[in-house]
Chain A
Amino acid sequence: KPKTKRSKRFLQGREPKLNENIKNAMLIKGGNANQTVTQALKDIYSLKKPNAVMYKKKNITRPFEDQTSLEFFSKKSDCSLFLFGSHNKKRPDNLVFGRMFDFHVLDMIELGIEKFVSLKDVKNSKFPEGTKPLLIFAGDAFETDNEHKKLKSLLIDFFRGPTVSCVRLAGLEHVLHITALDGKIYFRSYKALLKKSGCRTPRIELEDMGPSFDFTMRRTHLASDDLYKTAHRQPKALKPKKKKNVSHDVFGTKYGRLHMQKQDLARLQTRKMKGLKKRKGE
């Protein structure tokens, strides 16, 4: 229970709101996490900073069996996204992406790292923290396969960054490109260079940057359809208000509509003709 105004504001920040805060992510290491997995977690942490929490110690839990410890962590640190990394003989270099709704696991997707190029190995300059990346998904698997659809939604949630009203055009340099191809998922990160092209829109040249992963899809744990429905439900207050009695036609002219009572045409006031007015004598 809050005793100071500051703690009260802190708790209010964590309450459910109409317009939500940006989702925080927690990055957890499993019981036996090897070098690859740890490095992968660190790289994703640097992509997701400052909206991410990295747990330094290893936690011996299995997300697919027991979700209570994950839910406890998420409640404590107010994180609704999590990334759990582990390594064993059966599932080497394992990353579990997941998200929560109301501090209960909504869905989890397990991805195995086939190939991994870390941020360290790439020599270029790094992005400033907190840049909103351009997300691009390619491949028809993301449209046809249900699990890929959910993965796409999860990855958008994970990497999209804060919702802003305006964005600086010159600052759009971070590009995350995810392709579903040949049964695998290729995650690449590029730096976009805006070159002159003669007209207003610049020509793009890409430079290799950042971590790149080759994933294979392993197990998934998706929520039931009605839980998805509840989670996606938007409050009515956020829906844009429709303005009544105003319409636009094809040419862009704005039309309004007035509702009048029935007028008695006999008593309608038209032009006054002072000369025709009846005088007292007549």
Chain B
Amino acid sequence: MAACSIEDVLAKAEREEVEKLKSISVHKEQELEFDPGNLFAFDKNPPNIREFRKLNKDEFLRSLARDNTQLLINELWKLPTERVEEVIVAKLPEPTTRLPREKPVPKPRPSTKWEEFAKLKGIQKKKKTNLVWDDVHKEWKRRWGYKRANDDTKEWLIEVPETADPNEDQFSKRIKAKKERVAKNELNRLRNIARGQKIKVPGVGLAPTEQQSKTELGKAIHVAKHSTASVGKFQGNLPKEKTPKNMGKKRKFEPLIGDFSAEKQKQLDLLNIMDSKKPRIDITKAVNKQMREEDRQSGFQKRKSPGKKGRKGNFSGKGKAKGKGKKGGPGGGSGGGNSKGGPGGGKNRKPRMKQGKR
């Protein structure tokens, strides 16, 4: 009895298995062509036209589609899967259908002179870190660019070497050297491009470009106009052309021999300021202010965390020192360095120092 039931159970299980497989298996005369990378399947079997005409067209098409989709899904379920963030995902292979490209294959960039030399010598590129430790400022700074580490143009003290001329300006020497290096780099870059595109680069002046912007054209016009023996003084304008004012001048300086009365007035004003015994800064006021600041600071310190101290100390210290050292500029500017000094000074907990015109 038990044996019969076991056999029955086994037979039943087998039948169920077959049925399950039947539900997903589809019989086709010819195998379909699959391209899982594109989620694409191609059924080459000629469809049954008689059936198509007999049945409702949509029904026939739908059943055909169902069969084909089943086969494609079977194929896709065979792919390796992985679990990505609670979702089961199948890894698709590369698409095998050959489709035309959208744009032609890009030409490889022409190599620069250095790249060719490196290839010849077998020099490999060494990967460098982005930041470098700057001992002077005691922080990590960029290797190159804005606010870089070990910037020799920004040094405030340069020892004059013994072999150098004592009247030479070492600071401007370094700045000039930097400018030369930048210009040389730019020239080499343009030369590399020119070599790649097989056009010539002029040593001086503007390189010929196809589409020039307004500024570039303006510059070209200016250069052409002023390349005459009289440096463009007698070049007429075109009918609607306007001469641009102050081309090339960044600062306005008074002419040497111009308005005599204005110059006289300026000099007399200066003498008056120098003569007057009254100081530009009201010393008593400044000292009182300083004392008040210090008192307030010490009170603040006792209440708040020591972290705030730095900021306050920085402010007032700098402000006062610079204020005192300041000599009067041309007329104008408020006396003393404290901009908020007069009106707001009393109640300001955190004085914001704005250094005005100096």
A136 touches B101 (CB 8 A): no
Q: Does A270 contact B (CB under 8 A)?
A: no
Given the known interface contacts A166-B89, A177-B68, the answer about A134 and B41 at a Cβ–Cβ threshold of 8 Å is yes
Per-residue B-contact encoding for A96-119, CB less than 8 Å = 1, 0 else = 000111100010000000000000
Judging by beta carbons under 8 Å apart, are A206 and B69 in contact?
yes
9-residue interface stretch from B20-28, B112-120, B176-184, B327-335: B20-28
- State the Cβ distance, B101 to closest chain A Cβ, in Å: 6
CB <8 Å contact, A169 and B76: yes
On chain A, the residues within 8 Å of B72 by CB distance are 134, 136
Closest-by-CB residue of B relative to A194 is: B73
Contact call A102/B99, Cβ cutoff below 8 A: no
Least Cβ distance of B284 to chain A in Å?
55
- Size category of the B interface is 35 or more
As a 0/1 sequence over residues 38 to 53 of chain B, the CB contacts with chain A under 8 angstroms (1 = contact) are 1111111111010010
User: B90: CB under 8 A from chain A?
Assistant: yes
Q: Which stretch (A13-21, A31-39, A251-259) binds chain B?
A: A13-21
- The interface centre, meaning the residue of A138, A139, A205 with most chain B CB atoms within 10 A of its CB, is A138
Q: Tell me the total A-B contact number using a CB cutoff of 8 A.
A: 191
Interface members, chain A 131-158 (any B CB < 8 Å): 132-140, 142-143, 152-153, 156-157
Residues of B within 8 A of A199 (CB): 20-21, 24
What mask results when residues 68 to 84 of chain B are scored 1 for a CB within 8 Å of chain A, else 0?
11101110110001101
Q: By the criterion CB–CB under 8 Å, are A206 and B21 in contact?
A: no
A31, B106: Cα distance in complex, Å: 37
**Residue B12 at the A interface, CB < 8 A?**
no
* CB atoms of A182 and B40 under 8 A apart: no
Q: Does A216 have its Cβ within 8 Å of any Cβ on chain B?
A: no
Main secondary structure of the interface of B (DSSP, over half): mixed
Q: Which of B24, B69, B103, B104 contacts A192 (CB 8 A)?
A: B69
Q: Are B74 and A136 in contact (CB under 8 A)?
A: no
Interface string of A206-244 (1 = CB under 8 A from B): 101000100000000000000010111111000000000
Contact between B213 and A101 (Cβ–Cβ < 8 Å)? no
Q: Tell whether B87 is near chain A: CB-to-CB under 8 Å.
A: yes
Q: Within 8 Å of chain B (Cβ to Cβ): is A84?
A: no
A227 to B74, CA, bound (A): 37
In the complex, the answer to whether B101 meets A232 with C-beta atoms within 8 Å is yes
Most buried by A among B39, B41, B42, B98: B39
The answer to whether A165 touches B43, judged by C-beta atoms less than 8 angstroms apart, is no
- Do residues B81 and A169 form an inter-chain contact, with CB atoms below 8 A? yes
- Does B66 contact A169, Cβ atoms closer than 8 Å? no
CA distance A100 to B102 in the complex (A): 7
Contact B65 A177 (CB under 8 A): yes
* A-chain residues with CB within 8 Å of residue B101 when the two chains form the complex: 20, 101, 231-234
Provide the residues of chain A in CB contact with B69, threshold 8 Å: 134, 136, 175, 177, 190, 192, 204, 206
Query: Whole-angstrom distance from the CB of A18 to the nearest CB of chain B?
Result: 7
CB<8 Å pairs between A and B, sample of 10: A18-B105, A23-B102, A133-B39, A136-B65, A136-B72, A156-B40, A160-B39, A190-B62, A194-B73, A203-B24
A residues contacting B by CB (< 8 A) are 1, 15-18, 20-21, 23, 80, 99-102, 106, 132-140, 142-143, 152-153, 156-157, 160, 163-170, 172, 175, 177, 179, 181-182, 186, 188, 190, 192, 194, 197-206, 208, 212, 228, 230-235
Q: Which 10 A-B residue pairings sit nearest by Cβ, starting from the closest? A: A198-B20, A231-B100, A16-B103, A177-B65, A138-B43, A80-B102, A201-B77, A166-B89, A16-B106, A140-B46
Contacts A17-B103, A197-B24 supplied; 8 other A-B pairs, CB < 8 Å: A136-B43, A136-B68, A138-B65, A139-B43, A186-B61, A202-B73, A206-B62, A233-B101
